[in-house]
């Protein structure tokens, strides 16, 4: 996978950092727990503290600032829309007015709050995928969901589906960039002010991208079938992962940081 692809979520960068050495089950469990904590937080200062820790952790994986911002750039539009919705829809002290919509100070605070909430979850998810391979993700999800097999839930298939889907995200983003360059060289205008030309330009991307996605899925299905994959057979793992002292120490550090961050605000 090209490390210069646009979206940072879904990429894996081999390294020997502390995050790479942690047990994959622990990393996914802590991510789930972290997201629960994030959605319970009620102060901007809490998010700023966690964002600083997450960015520092990502930099420890030898990720450059340029790659980090480039990887987050596709999400900036979603973050900007989230911020603007709260900025102009919340009543309060007027800051300015734009096209008949009033921006309030309370809306600015609320928009910043949800902006940082989404950014925190994205950074945490990025840290997981950057330090965990697709094989480890499938292994961990299969272990976590294995108790549900007793009630007929297809845990192995679900884990495999999520693992493949996660790794397909940056691949499709990279494919989209290639198609965009190819269509631009053929005269497509993606920044035209005419709605008709704009729709035609994006359709020239979506149709081949959809076709390429189906083709990749078909090739993957054939490859799995040739290798004898059977979802009804219990499968083992060629890689064995063991719990170590680092896992328990990291759990303690995570608990302490979360408690301190919560206590400082309350």
Inform me whether the pLDDT recorded for 1 exceeds 50. no
The confidence score (pLDDT) of residue 7 equals 60
Domain range summary for the chain, segments of one domain joined by +: 1-132+243-266
Query: What is the rounded distance in angstroms from the CA atom of residue 152 to the CA atom of residue 24?
Result: 24
Query: What is the rounded distance in angstroms from the CA atom of residue 259 to the CA atom of residue 253?
Result: 10
Query: Percent of the chain, pLDDT > 70?
Result: 90
The confidence score (pLDDT) of residue 68 equals 75
How does pLDDT run across 7-25, given as a tens digit for each residue? 666 677 888 888 888 999 9
Full DSSP string of 57-117: HHHTTT--HHHHHHHHHHHHHHHHHHHHHHHHHS-SSEEEEETTEEEEHHHHHHHHHHHHH
The residue assigned the tokens 């960039």 is 177
Query: Percent of the chain, pLDDT > 90?
Result: 3
- What's the pTM? 0.73
Please give the average per-residue pLDDT across 146-163, as a whole number: 81
The confidence score (pLDDT) of residue 236 equals 66
Inform me whether the pLDDT recorded for 3 exceeds 50. no
Could you tell me which residue, 69 or 29, shows the higher pLDDT? 29
Query: What is the rounded distance in angstroms from the CA atom of residue 177 to the CA atom of residue 70?
Result: 13
Inform me whether the pLDDT recorded for 66 exceeds 80. no
Is the CB of residue 7 less than 8 Å from the CB of residue 173? yes
Inform me whether the pLDDT recorded for 54 exceeds 60. yes
Inform me whether the pLDDT recorded for 4 exceeds 80. no
The confidence score (pLDDT) of residue 145 equals 83
Could you tell me which residue, 79 or 4, shows the higher pLDDT? 79
The confidence score (pLDDT) of residue 237 equals 67
């Amino acid at each position: 996978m090209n490390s210069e692809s646009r979206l940072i979520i879904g990429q894996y960068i081999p390294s020997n950092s502390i995050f790479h050495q942690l047990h994959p089950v622990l990393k996914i469990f802590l991510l789930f727990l972290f997201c629960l904590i994030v959605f319970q937080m009620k102060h901007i200062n809490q998010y700023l503290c966690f964002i600083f820790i997450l960015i520092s952790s990502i930099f420890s994986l030898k990720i450059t600032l340029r790659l980090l911002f480039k990887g987050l750039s596709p999400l900036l539009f979603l973050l900007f829309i989230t911020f603007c919705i709260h900025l102009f829809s919340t009543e309060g002290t007027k800051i300015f007015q734009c096209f008949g919509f009033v921006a309030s100070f309370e809306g600015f605070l609320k928009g910043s709050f949800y902006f940082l909430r989404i950014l925190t979850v994205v950074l945490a998810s990025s840290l997981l995928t950057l330090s965990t391979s697709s094989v480890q993700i499938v292994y961990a999800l299969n272990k976590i969901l294995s108790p549900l097999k007793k009630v007929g839930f297809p845990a192995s298939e679900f884990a495999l589906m999520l693992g493949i889907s996660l790794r397909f995200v940056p691949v499709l983003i990279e494919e989209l960039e290639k198609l965009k360059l190819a269509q631009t060289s053929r005269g497509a205008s993606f920044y035209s002010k005419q709605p008709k030309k704009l729709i035609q330009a994006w359709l020239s991307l979506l149709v081949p991208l959809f076709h390429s996605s189906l083709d990749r899925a078909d090739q993957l299905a054939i490859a799995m079938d040739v290798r004898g994959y059977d979802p009804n057979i219990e499968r083992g793992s060629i890689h064995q992962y063991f719990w170590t002292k680092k896992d328990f120490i990291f759990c303690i550090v995570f608990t302490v940081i979360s408690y301190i961050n919560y206590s400082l605000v309350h």
